[in-house]
Chains A and B, each alone.
Chain A
Amino acid sequence: MDATLKKQLEITACKVRMGIIEGVHSAKSGHPGGSLSIADTLTYLYFAKMNVYPDKPEEPQRDRLVLSKGHTAPALYSTLAQRGFFPEEELKSLRHIGAMLQGHPCIHIPGVDMSSGSLGQGISAACGMALSAKVSSDTYKVYTILGDGEIEEGQVWEAAMFAAHYKLDNLVAIVDNNGLQIDGKIEDVMSPYPIVDKFKAFGWHVIEMDAHDFDSIEAAFNEAESVSGQPVAIIQKSVKGKGVSFMENNVSWHGSAPNDEQYEQAMGELKAALAALEA
């Protein structure tokens, strides 16, 4: 990847992470761990890959993204705010009474392509969007992000069968393999492994990616674009809580918000990382 672009994306991803912490802290609830693990992927998609139009979010030919792991809405909202779909200020009222930003993605929020959050459902909607593009010969792409715990839901595999059957090569499903779900390690709770082999067996083209390295991210999405006749699954190896030292690989940050002290520490770390990047 071009060094300038890479630096820009790293800076943006850092700001996205700050927005996640801001939102979850203001809400006093939410899911920071799995939000931080997809921050780089969302940054790449919205700033370097997808055709989106913040000034006309409903543009019919835009690329779509369905956040199937909808509980990580803070990451999507923070990315959309950075991209200019709505003011960053909105993040401070996440989950509040009367606020625009609901606890889980809602289709009526500018830039949000589908309501989601009940796990396993987003990928089906993404399949419907991809099929819709195919039948109309539209060229837009559809991305969906799933959790590695989420793929324990049976509906995911109904959708996986469907996407391969209808050769939805305009669909890319990203599985965020951070290894942790609420009750613990995914292999202890209900192992979805081997994830790569499962998607291959369902007829998907599978790519493995380092979720925190923009070179790896760019290579994965470029490869995805070259595939025809099959849907693409990108299995991204990620770190839950990435970017905030005390949240990394710690399952207790799946669904809890930082207190004021922890907020200061997290923001301090991210501000230092941002300053280093901008130096």
Chain B
Amino acid sequence: MAEVKKIATRESYGNALAELGDKYENLYVLDADLAAATKTGIFKKKFPDRFFDCGIAEANMMGVAAGMAATGKIPFASTFAMFAAGRAFEIVRNSIGYPHLNVKIGATHAGISVGEDGATHQCNEDIALMRTIPGMTIINPADDVEAKAAVEAAILHEGPVYMRFGRLAAPVFNDADTYKFELGKGIKLREGSDISIIATGLMVSEALKAAEILAAEGVSAEVINIHTIKPIDKEMITATAAKTRKVLTVEEHSVIGGLGSAVCDVLAETCPTKVVKIGVNDEFGHSGPAVKLLEEFGLYADNIVKTAKAMV
């Protein structure tokens, strides 16, 4: 297999904003002193008049974004997931969610793969928090191709959108020429019959790797990529559960309130099925290189294989 190109989805976010800036003149970008890290600096360089640094004041940034959206602009409010979903939660709920304003939140450095910065910056709770806000759309793209498509889909969607991007370079497995992003629709990446592996974000490529290994060992795994966590693709999740009767969810997020919980919420009503969740097990992370941490927390192909085999 040829060497796979790797790009962090935060990089995709910054590039997409810069590329789409010409097409969507109403697009504005806000950041909270992290433009170099969130990669909105790429947009700033090209469109300095449409970029506003809010300083280290995320609560105010979310409110400013709300005011801009209320007056017809499409603001992208950008910062780390910890501060976007965590610190600014109540502003996102009351000033963006409740009035259902057209604000796009670009949350980077999500999950444990933040790495060396440690637990204070490893946000494993953002999906759970954002899921509770009525009318909030949540997108967690898996690679560069999907992330860039997601940014444009967010622009075309009227209403608040939370987009989750990563710091770690992620393998690009989607083909830019054929890839099609449909908001709210899962993508079946591999047909299988013994078990369904439902993954999101950085874990999708690990799920694909795991499915390869499982196939070599005689286990047929279906792999589904859920990029839109809300609204979630109930039909696809129900259909795959009905087919394999065994579901394994994989996410770089707490097992409380994330993709696994969302899948359970669906299946409890539509097709009660045994679900095992791989994610961060109700504990804080710690400092270390991202790849080592992902291994330590079981967020990699070999652990998916091991868990899947124990289920079939």
Contacts and interface: CB of A to CB of B under 8 A. Distances in A.
B59 A125 contact: no
A210 B177 CA distance: 66
Given A135-B50, A162-B54, A166-B52, A60 B72 contact: yes
B214 to A, nearest CB: 49
Given A107-B99, A124-B95, A133 B71 contact: yes
A135 B54 CA distance: 15
A114 B91 contact: no
Contacts of B98: 106, 115
Contacts of B59: 120-121, 124, 154-155, 158
Contacts of A124: 59-60, 62-64, 66-67, 91, 95
A132 B57 contact: no
Contacts of A118: 90-91, 94-95
A233 to B, nearest CB: 16
Interface in A72-126: 106-108, 113-118, 120-126
Nearest to B101: A107
Given A125-B66, A155-B91, A131 B52 contact: yes
Contacts of A125: 63-64, 66-67, 70, 95
A133 B73 CA distance: 10
B153 interface: no
A130 B71 CA distance: 9
Given A118-B90, A124-B95, A135-B50, A162 B55 contact: yes
Nearest to B98: A115
A129 B95 contact: no
A161 interface: yes
B60 A114 contact: no
B63 A159 contact: yes
A121 B55 CA distance: 17
Given A114-B66, A135-B50, A162-B55, A128 B94 contact: no
Report whether over half of chain A's contact residues are helix, strand or loop; otherwise say mixed.
Answer: helix
Interface string B66-104: 111111110100000000000000110011001101000
A128 B71 contact: yes
A159 B60 contact: yes
Contact of B67 (A131, A154, A165, A166): A131
A127 interface: yes
A127 to B, nearest CB: 5
A114 B57 contact: no
B217 interface: no
Contacts of A107: 70, 99, 101
Contact of A131 (B64, B72, B91): B64
Bin the interface of chain A by size: 35 or more
B163 interface: no
A261 B275 CA distance: 62
Contacts of A161: 55, 57, 60
Contact of A127 (B67, B75, B90, B94): B67
Nearest to A130: B67
Given A158-B57, A159-B60, A132 B91 contact: no
Contacts of A115: 94-95, 98-99
Residue of A108, A113, A129, A154 with most chain B CB atoms under a 10 A cut-off: A129
A100 to B, nearest CB: 15
Contacts of A128: 63-71, 75
B3 interface: no
B236 to A, nearest CB: 34
B28 interface: yes
B84 to A, nearest CB: 15
A62 to B, nearest CB: 10
Nearest to A166: B52
Residue of B54, B70, B94 with most chain A CB atoms under a 10 A cut-off: B70
A155 B92 CA distance: 13
Residue of B49, B54, B60, B62 with most chain A CB atoms under a 10 A cut-off: B60
Given A115-B98, A121-B91, A121-B95, A158 B60 contact: yes
Nearest to B26: A136
Interface in A156-174: 158-159, 161-162, 165-166
10 contacts: A121-B59, A121-B63, A125-B66, A125-B95, A127-B67, A128-B65, A128-B68, A135-B49, A155-B63, A158-B59
The 4 A-B residue pairs with the shortest CB-CB distance, nearest first, are A128-B67, A124-B63, A158-B60, A158-B57
Given A106-B99, A128-B68, 17 more contacts: A60-B71, A60-B72, A107-B70, A114-B66, A115-B95, A115-B98, A115-B99, A116-B95, A117-B94, A118-B94, A121-B63, A124-B66, A124-B67, A129-B68, A129-B71, A131-B68, A135-B50
